[in-house]
Structure 1
Amino acid sequence: MDRPPGMMDVAREAGVSHITVSRVINGHPSVRPETRTRVEAAIQKLGYRRNSVARALKSRRSSTIGVVIVGSDLFELPRILLGVETAAKQAGYWVSLASRQGESTTGDLVETLQRLTDQSVEAIAVVADRPVAVEALSRLSIGVPVVVVMSGSVPNPGLSFVEVDQELGARLAVRHLLGLGHRNIAHLTGALRTFDGRARVAGWRAELADAGMEGPLLEGDFSAESGFRLARELCAGDTVLPTAVFAGNDQMAMGVLAAFAERGVKVPQHVSVVGFDDMKGAGYLVPALTTVRQDFAHLGGRAIELLVRMLGGETSEHQKIAPRLVVRRSTDAPRAGS
């Protein structure tokens, strides 16, 4: 044949009607086992593949969920996508992926969403590391359910949101240090253009305020290099070294540990250090890092659960997933003279 085999070709090869072929393809229980075997053999022989585009146009269902990635600094993305794909597969959906790197405009994001809806996706998850991407959705209506992952919320009742509670995570870190007796707790922030960076600052500041305290804040960018640089600044001059450092993430904490080791500052004897994320290998740093664990696979899976419920007619909602503090050897009570 000078064209791909179609359903009618399979029907002729198997000696059945095209309706029977359709029933076999769609798993209809009314087909006799011997007929099903004959049709499946014909499909295998001819190399027939369903035309999913035509099927979607006819049924108005593509069984596909679109995923849009906005931003280039999402180190946790593989685990989020693992959760998304696993949950989508369990719910009977495929995933179609699109991305926007760098400084995306509202028009860029709308174009990407439109491209996915043109492919007949039934719902869309937007994974964003910057509030600007979410703000672009504030007045957008694209006709399919949308859930935003990781980046807070905007006043749009048509959108659902799911995130790890970043502010609570920061509070847990600071609460742990306060409970150990620390009263001078510095925060080395991540990039403040991101939702995560800003929320962790808010949590650090709020927990200290509840205890009637304040602390030094130095702005970084989530990289190990910035953690190293800021920790060296803390050690410079005649300033009093804080007894504890809450780093914006584990990468920054890794840089902090390196800078302190270079300057002869012992952790946790001189300064306790807490990170955020519980990245792979955090327990094997020297010393093993106390940190806040985020379950990114669960986050991705929860996004799909929300979309499936919205497809079933439920209203949008905003869910926050609680992180968990993991205490290791990088934190201890302050020593006398520290």
Structure 2
Amino acid sequence: MFMEAAEASDAIARMLDRNATVVDQLAARLRAVPPAFVVTCARGSSDHAATFAKYAIEMQLGVVTASASPSIASLYASTPHLAGALYLAISQSGRSPDLIRSASAARAAGAFVVAMVNAEGSPLAAVAEVVIPLHAGTEASVAATKSYVCALAAILDLVARWKHDAGLAHAVSALPELLHAAWRADWSALSAGLTESRNLFVLGRGLGFGVALEAALKLKETCGIHAEAFSTAEVRHGPMALVGPGFPVLAFTQQDESLASTLELVAEFRARGAQVWVASPAGSGRDHLAVPTAPHPACTPVAEIVSFYRAANALALRRGHNPDLPPHLKKVTETL
């Protein structure tokens, strides 16, 4: 896990270089024939990338984006009405039967199916009309890291080219350098602070929510901590009643319209005596988790998850866990 997460910046550089032509062609097609809406389909870490895609596409392009449940097609055999939709399937292995069946059903229903997949020769890639390879390389650790980061970068690359957004495109091209710096960030305060923890809230909003979901999953599978992710808006609808003295909270932020409300919530939790760590390009103090400043706010969550992966690996070892072999899990999960 440590070595693979450290390779994320190089993997993104490789992916952006190799995918330029296919993503340009896809972006041109989406501009020429705009989809009525976007549907994402994924499982696990890839579904957290799909959540990131929802916010990126809706915020930057204004196209409504929703998540499909793979079981609707694979288990319940229901036929969705997807004519005119862009159907974005995201997967590391491309081998899960439910994703393959769902993508096949979507294409038969008239959707334009695009697959972001690390395994270019996978059955899911064969179903898609366009494949965006993640080029993350082999991942031996059960916990996916660099393939998830590559998926986030691929999403931003597609959005930037689709929108013809020069500022975002420049920021995406700078991601490898940004992630090199993010890997060197010192998040040891988080690893030390969570050594004895059993429960945790992980918070994010907008583009940061998909990263919060991913971090909570990694804390569960590699560190044995019952971590739950919430939007900083949704946590107010009940879950925040659990936050009191000593309760640990990890908050991801990016410097966009979500920042003020997130910091307001952090201040409220700290006033209750909660232990809150805040990931942010700006800030100070022992509870501040430093992140290198990104040229665009959309890239900040990508840097944060890379810093987090290093901290999670260290935390797993502190707690006596093998982060590469979480109990009861396997690398490829083939759900029906």
Please state which structure has a larger fraction of its residues in helix. 2
TM-score, normalised with respect to structure 1: 0.36
* Higher RCO (CA-CA < 8 Å; seq separation 6+): 2
